Chain A
Amino acid sequence: SIATSAASGAELQREQHARSVLRETFLRCLLSMNNKKVRFHMHGKVKVEATFGASDIDVLNFQVSDLHTPIGVQKEALIRSQDVISFTVDE
């Protein structure tokens, strides 16, 4: 009926709006991390520090610099998001 399709249309708009607010805020958070020191907590209790560069939009990879690995510093690196549990910036 017209009533239900209008209701579902409004519901769709609510969901679209919620999704775009969440996404925009997330992208802004990632942008705010640019050039900051981040600590990555990875699978297997691996913890490393690096300077955050950028992420691809599908959040599959993080591009970082000065990555402090257990065996030395890697000047430029890509970290797979699948390897990551969380990462933190302290201000």
Chain B
Amino acid sequence: MTTDEPISLETPVRLMRKMSHDMRGPLSTLTITSDLFMQGAYGEVTPKQARAVDRIQRNSYRLLALLEDLMAYVKAEAGQFALMTETFPPNEVLNGVQQEIAQYVAQHDSQRPVHLALCEHIPPRLTGDPVAVRRIILALLWNAVAFAASGDIWIESCWTDAERWTVSVRDSGPGISPGDQPHIFEPFWRGDQRPQVPTSGFGLGLSMARALARLMGGDVRLEQSSPSGSTFLAALPLPTVSAVSPAANGSTTSTPPAASPPSTPPPTSPSPTP
């Protein structure tokens, strides 16, 4: 590339796609080899060896999470993230993420309940990209797990007349300082506060979550933060099944990427996605 050539967002997306592909082979070797090792394929495993291999496994998955968040973030910012359109049950998505996080927390800190308050009035099925929705909510949850060292975590769901699903994630951590708050959606931002768990991410989860939400026409924002905890909120416009054309009901289609990147500033935060 010459210095006169304009830099477009398409190039980073292509580079990311290539990098994503090339990193997945070595990650396969790391994860399968460590699984084989733990299952005794190379001989008896001592407790110390098991802890060492566990570190290899956990950090392999950290690298994969970084790769996937970065890929999703870059594609969303470039308007090249192809959102799927299908109908899905929102409460099942919430139950799934709650169980995933609760399981992780239980393994590492049994004193941190993860509460889920489902909305009574939400339609049984919404239309949108359930995988992207799940990624957004999980990013908020991992952020709560990583940066609130202890205390409960609450997930609350709400449905508005404007066909907007809001999901808030509240933690009981020390809060985010006023000086850090304007920066938490910047990619790779690390404020004074350090993650409290060893499997924390790289500061990309909140950026990715906001970029995906904005691509859907929604948003992710910090609702409030105080010394007794922080609340992040995802507001996602998701039509009810009856509000979309019959052809979309129960079907899966892919929405072509937007022609131009969103005009919003680059998002992000100190969010891990182990």
- The answer to whether A and B interact is no
Residues of B within 8 A of A (CB): none
Binding site for B on A (CB under 8 A): none
